[in-house]
Structure 1
């Protein structure tokens, strides 16, 4: 009769059941003669085993398919593989053969320090190193059922294995049809052991599917990183130094890249131009449109920056003629630091916030539709007078949308966050924008993937 099948894995727990391949204790005395099987019982047992294996494999691949980022997929691969081969711990090393990254190592049941210890072992002495470096025997599974049985184990590997308490390992290459080798996965056993043939078959099927899924997520991750890099490169690499004013900015973009932007540029007569804006849409087209719009505004600001209405009027005409299917919001402020005077105009944009020792209030700005949505633009500019030590905070509506609150509540939350900035931090615009960002978007909401970009630009007048 076949060996009993392991319990079907309906959900993966951190504590994996004991390996099914562990040998049963030797029987003492005379073993009883088993009763003969009824006709067809052996076939039924085999069919039941196959159905159980296929059901388990189906559930595990479904769980993997639901992962939508690389880190979660690698963690799920380790958990599912541990259940299939009967191991308790493992690690996966992602190191694509095309050398385009990202390279990472993730462990299951292994802390950061444990992974550090393993990385001190010479790569050629580890199973994943032989796979990744294409050494002999590294093009297929590598089974090490008893690491301490012989004398051929690298001394450093022997020391690390003894310290971490593993005595056997089973490794598989992760290779996709299109992307080639992606990395290697290794599962570690506390006692001398190795997966049986049925377990090897199941983990082999699962690993082939997992590699294709990882290859797709890897391309998504690379695209996200590329879009984020392009978006950041289109924004100021550094903020200018202008006498009488201190500047700070924060920018958070979504995984597809968005159209929110900011700018700060020195202007003639010791003036300073500040701008924030947002282009509709997301992805490469929105990022490209954002770059064109920001570059155009810089040109208009140099020529006629003392008149913000003229700057935005020119920008409105440009957008309407060159990209009639797109709209955008923008706010441009002409600042005279020596006088602490700000002249600004906005097109469909959120009003700036004045933050000082004695007041925290939204500036009263003229109401205007977004750029690209007007036949003519006549909203006048407004003038603000900042007191010494006050900060003008410009932002995009993505900050409000990421809260998930209605607009009026989001504005109230922003006002409360600015009003609650400790007095000891108000002299530092960097500390001020960090406090506002963490307060308006707590619990990591400012860093999570979102379709909404966030821009904060602060100018503190001395």
Structure 2
């Protein structure tokens, strides 16, 4: 037998001896051998016979002479042994359908199957090689690479292992070797599979569990649960699918590692186990449960199981110990991120267990107490002096109005007063000796008992927690220790949360500064945008959007995402937004704008890449051009409510390839069409695929009223997962009710070019119905603009005329980037320099903008 090894007690791997029945006998000879006093038929073969022909004919002969009842377990074992001899397998296992529908192990031979991660049972609808072979009816052959990515092989030894699974009469044969199976090996395995017959299925009585009990199959994860147990998890019987993952999904994430150490067979050992953990109830509040269980070994027809009970931890004993309360408070504070979260955690951990009537938590800011949480939150539940300071959500009072409290905070130790007791000042405190009792603001807070807990961290007092009782309250030693321990935990958490709040505010301010403060008003349309930062973490995201007004009633919509979440990503986001805006206003087409941004990003020598979508929309005609650079595509919502994903080919992300191409996709917009651009945080998450995210987005757009674009944005973001930043940009194209008249002409470079320009302007204005009396100022302005371009620049000069209502716009484009300047002073003897002065005099406004390879000088006049 080749490549079949077993580990001996010395730790070395040795090849096992072939089984007695492995070799085919020379017909008609058979031998007898004594085993335990009985005669057992064995197979014998001569050396010469073993060398005759290939392995497949000899395997066929051996399989015909294995003996035993065709449906007996002994017959299965002897048949499987032939896979070790003739196919060179290290391990062979047979699986047959069981009474419960699972693929159950019938027998295995060779190297122990557990070394290769072969389980006792497999669900028929799972992804194991055995299940796939049975479902498809085809062999499954996996090498080391495929097995490394197979979830069923996570317990397999770190070696070069090859696996073959062959379907066999509703079950399968699984063979494993430490070398590839060649063609002759495969032929022998197929012969073994054809010879396998399954014994009668072993059945086990159904599992009986008590109301609070469970039985978990360690290999399949199927669990039988009692009714009371399901009630503790907040599940109804008809809604429970029998999977252990469903129960684990209700546990608090911080408690999952301890739970997995119990339910994972890799970590479970024989013996009893006990564990307390928390689950999130239907109301969203955590609940402590106690698990008691033991590992039951495999029985006939039943795999190894974890059996036990789960009970309410509070109901399991009359009173939860103070140590448990401190543990629960520490667990709650570990996940509290903000000051408000810390305050609520302290209130939840102390008020109900201590049966207090009221509890307040406040931060110390200078000489004032700033209350963060009061429970109960109603003014009438608190002393009258507190209500007088109730200016906002909570009262806010100076420390001098509560001298006893100020003294306790300076002392830094927990102070407790029973009913009717007078406070004693801390040693060395002046001005406190004459106190005969608590001041009313504190005395009315806890007439039956009062505890003041200074919350200290890093050597200073950062806040205070006040707990009051109406009825007389006795403070035992354990309760005093609980208050002291809680104060220390809360102080540290409060300091951490305060820093979190400050950093979160700084991050939010930085993000707001990098995004547009407002969107421009658009001719013939409306745009709205939303940005939602991720709910987890403090790092700045790289999502951004922009709406860029362009000449001739064009508008550019841009949305993008920088790789990662960091200050570097935010900085790069600001650079890319500025670059795209600059290239757009220069008049480049969309593909050139994105290509320039790609080249700029490569020159910045950053390790980050950027994805974006750029859409240039002509608000007059409703045509648009879209360019994608590795970003999720836009979605169009048509006026009839139908939706369309513009998923044409795009280019790679920016900053990846120096010579990348970014193809343009034409879009046709009708009045009422909504263009939706978003980042991947809205349409993709760990819980759903990109296709599922787009289905939700399209459904939200189809069901919303496009007339109210703000409501559309709110609807789209209603179910955002918020595991990542989300940016959303919506444009509704309405169409322009009045379209401007346009005409353009390339100016000839001839001595009489200014006269030809005036003649072209006059003919155009006449055709548009402009009166002759309104043309003089326009003719003078175009003459000066054209003359300046021809005299001071080289290359092509173009004149563009636009009329919208009574406003006439004249624009002259040339190839020089130099901007004309108005002279500061002109003498009467000067022969030039008056062109811009005359343009300014006859027009309402004038200016210059850079365009691709030059500039454009323009002016606007009001006719009539």
Scaled by the length of structure 1, the TM-score of the pair is 0.74
Task: Give distance in 2, aligned partners of 1:411 and 1:383.
Answer: 21
Q: CA 1:299–1:260 in 2, change beyond 3 Å: closer, same or farther?
A: same
CA distance in 1: counterparts of 2:396 and 2:724, whole angstroms: 47
Structure 2 counterpart of 1:37: none
Provide the C-alpha distance between the structure 1 equivalents of 2:562 and 2:679, rounded to a whole number of angstroms: 10
Counterpart in the other structure of 2:360? 91
Work out which of the residue numbers 451, 455, 459 in structure 1 matches 2:727: 455
Q: Number of residue pairs matched? A: 397
The separation in 2 between residues aligned to 1:130 and 1:208, in whole angstroms, is: 25
Q: Please tell me the root mean square deviation across aligned C-alpha atoms, in Å.
A: 3.8
Q: What does 1:366-405 correspond to in 2, within 5 Å?
A: 366-402=649-685, 404-405=687-688
One of 633, 658, 669 as aligned partner of 1:351: 633
Task: Give the 3-state SS of the residue equivalent to 1:193 in structure 2.
Answer: coil
Give the match's secondary structure for 2:575.
helix
Distance in 2 between residues matched to 1:148 and 1:239, nearest whole Å: 64
1:22-421 mapped onto 2 (5 Å cutoff):
57-58=326-327, 60-82=329-351, 87-97=356-366, 105-110=372-377, 119-122=386-389, 135-139=406-410, 140=412, 141=414, 143=416, 145-146=418-419, 154=440, 167-177=448-458, 180-193=460-473, 195-196=475-476, 199-254=479-534, 255-256=537-538, 257-305=540-588, 307-358=589-640, 359-402=642-685, 404-421=687-704
Q: Please give the secondary structure, in 2, of the residue aligned with 1:282.
A: coil
1:61 positional shift = 3.0
Indicate conservation of the 8 Å contact 2:616/2:626, yes or no.
yes
**Are residues 104 and 229 of structure 1, via their aligned partners in 2, closer, same or farther at CA, if it must alter by over 3 Å?**
farther
CA distance in 1, matches of 2:418, 2:651: 73
Higher RCO, 1 vs 2 (CA within 8 Å, ≥6 residues apart): 1
Q: C-alpha offsets along residues 193-217 of structure 1, whole Å, 9 cap, x if unaligned?
A: 3635653344223312321122122
Q: 1:108, CA displacement in angstroms? A: 3.8
Q: Could you give the per-residue CA deviations for residues 35-83 of structure 1, whole angstroms, max 9, x where no partner exists?
A: xxxxxxxxxxxxxxxxx76665455434433544443332222233447
**In the superposition, relative to structure 1, how do residues 337 and 115 fare at CA in structure 2: closer, same or farther (>3 Å)?**
farther
Q: Whole-Å Cα distance in 2 between the matches of residues 173 and 258 of structure 1?
A: 38
53 and 143 in structure 1: CA distance in 2 versus 1, 3 angstrom threshold:
closer
8 Å CA contact retained: 2:680, 2:726: yes
C-alpha separation between the residues in 2 aligned to 1:151 and 1:262?
Answer: 62
Q: Is contact 1:354-1:391 (8 Å) kept?
A: yes
Shift of 1:226: 1.1
Query: 5+ unaligned residues in a row in structure 2: which ranges?
Result: 1-275, 279-284, 286-320, 423-435, 735-864
- Higher helix fraction (1 or 2): 1
* Counterpart Cα distance in 2 of 1:420 and 1:132: 61
Q: Per the alignment, do residues 452 and 267 of structure 1 end up closer, same or farther by CA in structure 2, a change over 3 Å counting?
A: same
Q: So what's the TM-score if we normalise by structure 2?
A: 0.42
Which sections of structure 1, spanning at least 5 residues, go unmatched?
A: 1-8, 15-51
Structure 2 partner of 1:18:
none
- Is contact 2:519–2:528 with CA below 8 Å preserved after alignment? yes
* Bigger radius of gyration among the two: 2
Name whichever of 318-327 and 451-460 sits farther off: 318-327
User: Offset at 1:311?
Assistant: 0.8
Q: CA deviation at 1:87?
A: 2.5
Give the number of the structure whose residues are more often strand, by fraction.
2
Instruction: Tell me, yes or no, if the aligned pair for 1:148 and 1:167 is still in contact at 8 Å.
Output: no
**Inter-partner Cα distance in structure 2 for 1:109 and 1:285:** 45
Between the aligned partners of 1:298 and 1:145, the Cα distance in structure 2 is 69
Does the Cα contact within 8 Å between 1:247 and 1:460 map onto a contact in 2? yes
Question: 2: CA distance between counterparts of 1:291 and 1:116?
Answer: 52
Question: What is the CA distance between 1:345 and its match in structure 2?
Answer: 0.7
Q: In terms of mean alpha carbon deviation, does 167-176 or 376-385 score higher?
A: 167-176
SS class of match (1:229): helix
Moved more, 285-294 or 237-246: 285-294
CA distance in 1, matches of 2:447, 2:398: 14
Tell me how far apart the structure 1 counterparts of residues 569 and 396 of structure 2 sit (CA, whole Å): 49
